Amino acid sequence: MSTHELKTGPLEYRTQEGQMSILGFWIFLGAEVVLFSTLFATYAVLFGRTADAPVPADLFEPGITLVMTFLLLTSSFTCGLAIHQMRAGSLKGLITWLVITLGLGLGFLGFEIYEFIHYAHEGATLQSSSFWSAFFVLAGTHGVHVTLGIGWAVLLIIQLVKRGLTPVTSRKVFVISLYWHFLDVIWIFIFTSVYLIGMVV
Amino acid sequence: MQLDEFFVTGEPLIYGGMVSIVLVTSAIIFLLTYLKRWGWLWREWLTTVDHKKIGIMYILSALAMLFRGGVDALMMRVQLAFPNMNFLNSQHYNEIFTTHGTVMIIFMAMPFLVGLMNIIVPLQIGARDFAFPFVNAVSFWSFFFGAMLFNISFVIGGSPDAGWTSYTPLAGAALSPGPGQNFYLMGLQLAGIGTLATGINLMVTILKMRAPGMKMFDMPIFTWSTLVTSFIIIFAFPILTVALALLTIDRIFGSQFFTLTGEGMPMMWANLFWMWGHPEVYIVILPAFGIFSEIIATFARKQLFGYKAMVWSMILIAGLSFLVWVHHFFTMGAGALVNSVFSVSTMLIAVPTGVKIFNWLATLYKSRIQMTTAMMWSLAFIPSFVIGGVTGVMLGMAAADYQFHNSYFLIAHFHYVLIAGTVFACFAGLVYWYPKMFGHKLNERIGKHSFWWFLIGFHVCFFPQYFVGLDGMPRRVFAILPEWMPLNVISTVGAFGMGVGFVIFVYNIYYSYRYSKREEKGDAWDGRTLEWATPTPVPFYNFATLPEINGRDAFLSMKKNNETTFDEERLEPIHMPSNTGQPIIMMAILAFASFALVFEWIGLAVIGLIGTLIMMGIRSFDYDDGYHVEVDEIKKIERSARGL
Amino acid sequence: MSKNTKHVPVQHIIGFLLSIVLTLLAVWAALGSNLPVAWIIIAIMALAIIQAGIQLFMFMHMTESSSGGGHVPWNMMFHGFVLAAIIVAGSLFTMSFGFHHDHGSHTDHQEESSHQHD
Amino acid sequence: MKHMTKNKWFSFFLIGAVMLLSGCNQLVVFDPKGPVAQSQKDLIMYSLIFMMIIVVVVFVLFAFMVYKFRDRPNRKSSDYDPDIHGNTMIEIIWTVIPLAIVIALSIPTVQTIYDLEKPSAEGTDEEPLVIYATSADWKWFFSYPEQNIETVNYLHIPTGRDIEFRLSSADSMAALWIPALGGQKYNMAGMETVLYLQADEPGVYDGRNSNFNGEGFAKQTFKVHAESKEQFEDWVQSIQIEKPALTQEQYDTLLEPGLTNTMAFSSTHLQWVDHGTNEGRDYSIERHEDAYGKLLHLENINKSNQPQEVGE
């Protein structure tokens, strides 16, 4: 069936395989929504159960979280630009924007690691209470997703350099762009319901 | 760690288990070597990405698991019928009911149904294979290694013993130290990943790979049930993934989610577990409904009554299944409002289910029922399931549930729905599609023996349990009061009846392999749906050509119009995926990592995880496009298969 | 929807600016305004949902017709978010609300201890 | 063979009905000894009527269909119509009827749920008797704060008065179930659930933990002695006079996972810990951290494992 290749439209949609992979990934993202919402639910239920550890309002800082948010929002934007370049047929533009995206992602990760270490020094660790367990696992799961995304994107950049823009590589890049935007969606909710509400309540 | 801590010691039954594992394994190795079949095994089975072969491997594993779970069940029944014989002590009994429940739900019911879906769904919609054959193989091996990891626990490290629901704080590190509970967590996690991937795979397959002209409301009902099931899988399994991960982190890395220390919240586990657990019940029951619908329509020689109502009721059941989870812990004291809300939502499920029952009965109206074995399983399902269903409604009434909860009334209820629903469907489906899979039917006479043994055994086993439950007998006890004895003895007799039924069923597989007439045509039962349009054995590419489909019961109209799936004019090369060893290797490495995590060997686990990631990287760089089956070869295969 | 023929990705730039503005608005609502806490939570959650919509519709090409996916991506996201609401709200409903009861002095220990830090 | 199918079902159903009708008066849930169990029995009986109707209707229809439309020689050809695909009217009917049944079941269910959350109407002349029922692996502590006494693994209650059980657990989750008096509720550490029960008839009833909580689960049972108000007062007095006070040291020893005999004390453990509070949730875990992994090797005939009825 792959022989029936479309002649128009974005490269990634032209083959049946391409369409199916992208559709499958959307469905996977549906599952990811549920995965993260379970973590959010756990966090919400365990909210306030800090036992002897510090309370979030004392540790969360607006500055650093805002910087992290802007880093990730910008990386989502640059990732969108990368796809724009890809659809315009520019391999060089695509790779450039992808690399910028990854740089921003690495910056985000750096801040997150710094933040975690900082909290641990203040006495809030994974083990200290159920609230902090929920916090670290929720934020950490997002962080692990970002890390995997970076590793995955690096592999794709190598493939792009080797093979150029084909239906297969452009499909792969499109899928990771979905993943990256999705992680931004999740971060928006972490930023809002964990950090902002944690600072307010 | 000392060896005697690593291996479970001191139980004669477990030594027996060890010996038989060693014997069976060496027998298999010997046979494979003696018959020089290692290469065949690797090329034809272990590296296959063919949905039909993967489906067969699912079903074989599920039958093995049914045997294991069934032996557990019989051991429990023996203990309860002769509590003074001291057949099992308390600890051993706890381990056995835990593994019985887990194995039956996770490693028997689901893989059996997934196996049938694997084989049948692509054939029913006229597809070449799954949307992602590679992922399908990964799914199977993750299930397989998950099941192996879970099952090895009884000889290495010790079985989990906190019930299949694994409630915290009992299952937490403080109250259940040691690897037993970790086996449960890692085994389910591993299998769960595969199930989620299968759900996505099936959904894309059904949405994107239907035969030309086949609209959604033209799909065979089993395919519909698969689609709805995959929807539930996609939205329910991530909850399990998270719940298991949280408990794993609790146990291995010392977090405080479900602990008694650090202001943890043990009840949150029950909440998360049942948020997955209730939809899970429908994951194993909806495909069963689909199977029965197909079989009843086929052998009633009549189209399904109220097709659209059947589909919509399945969709409604799927939606409601996410809104009722609290009925598993009404007794938690969540308050009158919570209990009332969930009581009503629970009972509402009875409405679409009732609609389905009546539709099946109406399908029988003015039909011509052929009493084949598959049909008998399907017919027996209706009244048996109704008993389970009405008692389910009773359990849903929270105020009454305070008396039913945790009692044998509950046990009787869910065995009535899960055996009469799922297990009957597995047997019915296997009998029905057996000729499509293996090229010969199962013997009808022996099949009916096995049916009657199993059916009567089932009712004798579980019907008394309603009453012993109402007499106050709680579940999961290894010692009972004298007044519960008579009903328990009856139950045990019934359980052995079911055991005999199963043995006859397995014997039938052997007998039919030896003596059954080989199928010459693909259409063994004068079927209605597309899977019967292919020749038997099904060519590895499934369909050479497909006519334009319009309307339901596609094969029925094809037969009317004298169409086949072999139109020589329209032959084109068919693109096929190549076999690959990557899935089994990838999952073996992940299983190794999980095993290391069970014993909390963090270093080894990290190595295993890195290995898995490397395998995924290798896969990413793998641009193997598969190959094409040329027109001449298709012609040759189809002609010989169709005797042209 | 697809902008691949144009050279300036207008939609992306609008989306980006909107998300920056909405983020700042949420920060102001949470930390700068004097609204009651309940209103703050409602307001910033609403802003988050709008932002998620921006990502999905303006960045992720969710409704692109040439994808061949039909309504499925939209459908999966919609049901995913419905499920998310059920899971979060349902857990809070059954897990926190439930353990209140109105007698004597022993009520709501966990509530007290969880709010004493507030 | 085909004929058998129908008969088999019919006989199953008959046997079931007979067992049900004859068994009703002996099964403990159908033999209530108090208003709570009575209201639950009433609800179950009410639902059972609907369920029997459904079962009868389905079974009769099923038997008719299978018998009438089985494939056999010389069937009338008018009895076979493969093209019936549906009938909107009849489908609406069999959607509406189950819906009506669900509504008919929901109303009394919700009513009973709310009723069970407060003391029963019959016992309004007196305040409920408060008993703290605490589960610990694998024993029961019953503390009577007003009387300042505590019993282990047995319970005395006055008849005709509401008992307000305040349930909690020192470690694993349990459930207090006295089927003759009414349904169960969970005991959980760090939380307190309330269960109202009442006995109308004097007698000795079985009570147990019904929620699986480990090796000693099957043995975590107790007897409930329901007796007249005067007898209850006498019993309380005798405990207050004859039994020693409970020391924290002794209590901590008793908390260790394992089985114990029945005991009674003239003071309660509530003076130093209430496991239903956040502060009391890890009391036992901290003291017996290493004891939870040990096996009791509990076997059924080992008499020394079983709680003995002493000290009453």
Say if the Cβ atoms of C86 and B268 lie within 8 Å: no
Neighbours of A92 (CB within 10 A): 8
Task: Give the pLDDT confidence score for residue C107 in this predicted structure.
Answer: 36
Nearest CA in chain A to C110: A49
Q: Whole domain around residue B128: which residue ranges? A: 3-303+356-372+419-446+507-642
- Is residue D210 located within the same domain as residue D164? yes
- Nearest CB to B303; choose among D82, D116, D297: D82
Crossing angle (nearest 10°) for helices B90-102 and B180-208: 10
In the predicted model, what is the mean pLDDT of residues B197-221?
Answer: 95
Residues D298, D304, D309, D312, Cα dihedral to 10°:
-120
Q: Report yes or no: B309 at the D interface, CB cutoff 8 Å.
A: yes
Task: Give the pLDDT confidence score for residue D22 in this predicted structure.
Answer: 53
Which distant-in-sequence residues (6+ apart) come within 8 Å of C53 by Cβ? none
Peptide bond into B279 cis (omega under 30): no
The 3-state DSSP class for residue A123 equals: coil
Q: Report yes or no: B241 at the A interface, CB cutoff 8 Å.
A: yes
Write out pLDDT tens, residues B580-595.
Answer: 999 999 999 999 999 9
Q: Strands D203-209 and D139-144, how do they pair? A: unpaired
In a domain, D303, yes or no: no
A75 touches A104 (CB < 8 A): yes
In the predicted model, what is the mean pLDDT of residues B590-602?
Answer: 95
Q: Strands B574-576 and B627-629, how do they pair? A: antiparallel
Peptide bond into B276 cis (omega under 30): no
Confidence of residue D73 (pLDDT cuts 50, 70, 90): confident
Q: Which helix (H) or strand (E) holds A84?
A: helix A62-87
How many pairs of residues across B and C have Cβ atoms under 8 Å apart? 48
- Is residue D289 located within the same domain as residue D140? yes
Tell me: pLDDT of D48 over 80.
yes
Confidence of residue B605 (pLDDT cuts 50, 70, 90): very high
In the predicted model, what is the mean pLDDT of residues A116-122?
Answer: 95
Q: Long-range contacts of range D86-94, CB-CB < 8 Å, 24 or more positions apart?
A: D86/B305, D86/B306, D86/B307, D86/B308, D86/B309, D87/B306, D87/B362, D90/B362, D91/B306, D91/B309, D91/B355, D91/B358, D91/B359, D94/B354, D94/B355, D94/B358
In a domain, B410, yes or no: no
Task: Give the pLDDT confidence score for residue D177 in this predicted structure.
Answer: 97
Tell me: pLDDT of C110 over 90.
no
Which DSSP category does B370 fall into?
-
In the predicted model, what is the mean pLDDT of residues B263-277?
Answer: 94
Say if the Cβ atoms of D75 and B263 lie within 8 Å: no
Q: Which positions 46-75 of C are in contact with A (Cβ < 8 Å)?
A: 47-48, 51-52, 55-56, 58-62, 64, 66-69, 72-73
A112: distance to nearest CA of chain C, Å? 18
- Is residue D245 located within the same domain as residue D284? yes
pTM equals 0.93
The 3-state DSSP class for residue B518 equals: strand
How many pairs of residues across A and B have Cβ atoms under 8 Å apart? 126
Q: Dihedral of CA B206/B207/B211/B214: which sign?
A: positive
Write out pLDDT tens, residues B127-166.
Answer: 999 999 999 999 999 999 999 999 999 888 889 999 999 9
Say if the Cβ atoms of D296 and B470 lie within 8 Å: no
Say how many domains are in chain B.
1
Say if the Cβ atoms of B335 and C100 lie within 8 Å: yes
Confidence of residue C106 (pLDDT cuts 50, 70, 90): very low
Tell me: pLDDT of D301 over 60.
no
Q: Which positions 178-217 of D are in contact with B (Cβ < 8 Å)?
A: 179-180, 182-186, 188-191, 193-195, 206, 208, 210-217
Distance CA B634, CA B644 (A): 13
Say if the Cβ atoms of D276 and C99 lie within 8 Å: no
Q: Report yes or no: B362 at the D interface, CB cutoff 8 Å.
A: yes
- DSSP one-letter string for D80-132: --TT----HHHHHHHHHHHHHHHHHHHHHHHHHHHHHTS--GGGTTSPPEEEE
In a domain, D305, yes or no: no
φ, ψ (nearest 5 deg) of residue B316? -65, -45
Instruction: Find tokens 């063979």 and name the residue.
Output: D1
In the predicted model, what is the mean pLDDT of residues B607-636?
Answer: 93
- Nearest CB to C95; choose among B263, B268, B337: B268
Domain ranges of chain C: 1-61, 67-98
Task: Give the pLDDT confidence score for residue C2 in this predicted structure.
Answer: 43
In a domain, D74, yes or no: no
Tell me: pLDDT of A166 over 80.
yes
ipTM over 0.85: yes
Task: Give the pLDDT confidence score for residue B286 in this predicted structure.
Answer: 97
- Residue in A49, B639, B548, B528 with CA at minimum distance from that of residue D278: A49
Domain ranges of chain A: 61-122+135-201
Neighbours of D200 (CB within 10 A): 18
Starting at the edge strand found earlier in the chain, the sheet holding D154-158 runs: D154-158, D221-227, D203-209, D174-178, D182-187
A67: distance to nearest CA of chain B, Å? 28
Write out pLDDT tens, residues A17-27.
Answer: 899 999 999 99
Tell me: pLDDT of B629 over 50.
yes
Side-chain half-sphere exposure of A136, counting CA atoms within 13 A: 27
Distance CA B265, CA D281 (A): 10
* C94, C102, C111, C113: best to mutate for the B interface, most B CBs within 10 A: C94
Write out pLDDT tens, residues A21-66.
Answer: 999 999 999 999 999 999 999 999 999 898 889 999 899 988 999 9
Q: Which CATH number fits domain A61-122+135-201: 3.10.50.40, 1.20.120.80, 1.10.460.10, 3.90.420.10?
A: 1.20.120.80
Tell me: pLDDT of C57 over 90.
no
Average pLDDT over chain B reads 94
Average pLDDT over chain D reads 87
Say if the Cβ atoms of C93 and B275 lie within 8 Å: no
CATH, residue D50: 1.10.287
Distance CA A152, CA A25 (A): 15
Tell me: pLDDT of D303 over 50.
no
Q: How many helices (H) and strands (E) does chain B have?
A: 23, 2
**What is the distance, to the nearest Å, from the Cα of residue B248 to the centroid of all Cα atoms in its chain?**
24
* ∠ Cα B125 B131 B136 (to 5°): 110
C57: distance to nearest CA of chain D, Å? 39
Average pLDDT over chain A reads 93
* B164, B349, B351: best to mutate for the D interface, most D CBs within 10 A: B351
Tell me: pLDDT of C34 over 90.
no
* D67, D76, D81, D94: best to mutate for the B interface, most B CBs within 10 A: D94
Confidence of residue D308 (pLDDT cuts 50, 70, 90): very low
Alpha-carbon radius of gyration of chain D: 26
In the predicted model, what is the mean pLDDT of residues B352-371?
Answer: 94
D39 touches D112 (CB < 8 A): yes
Contacts C52 to A, Cβ<8 Å: 185, 188-189
Neighbours of chain C (3+ CB pairs under 8 A): A, B, D
* Residues paired with residue D224 on neighbouring β-strands, in sequence order: D155, D205
Across C52-86, b (16+ Cβ under 10 Å) vs e yields: bebbbbbbbbbebebbbbeebbeebbebbbebbeb
- Residue in C66, B218, B622 with CA at minimum distance from that of residue A23: C66
In a domain, D82, yes or no: no
Tell me: pLDDT of D2 over 50.
no
Say if the Cβ atoms of B239 and A151 lie within 8 Å: no
Contacts C111 to D, Cβ<8 Å: none
Write out pLDDT tens, residues D176-228.
Answer: 999 999 999 999 998 899 999 999 999 999 999 999 999 999 999 999 999 99
Q: Whole domain around residue D35: which residue ranges? A: 2-68+88-116
B188 touches B102 (CB < 8 A): yes
Q: Is B305 left (phi over 0), alpha (psi -120 to 50) or beta?
A: beta
CATH, residue B246: 1.20.210.10
Distance CA B595, CA B586 (A): 14
- Is residue D107 located within the same domain as residue D195? no
Write out pLDDT tens, residues B454-507.
Answer: 999 999 999 999 999 999 999 999 999 989 999 999 999 999 999 999 999 999
Say if the Cβ atoms of B262 and A133 lie within 8 Å: yes
- Nearest CB to C109; choose among D166, D193, D277: D277
Secondary structure of B14-83 in the HEC alphabet?
HHHHHHHHHHHHHHHHHHHHHCCCHHHHHHHHHCCCCHHHHHHHHHHHHHHHHHHHHHHHHHHHHHHHCH
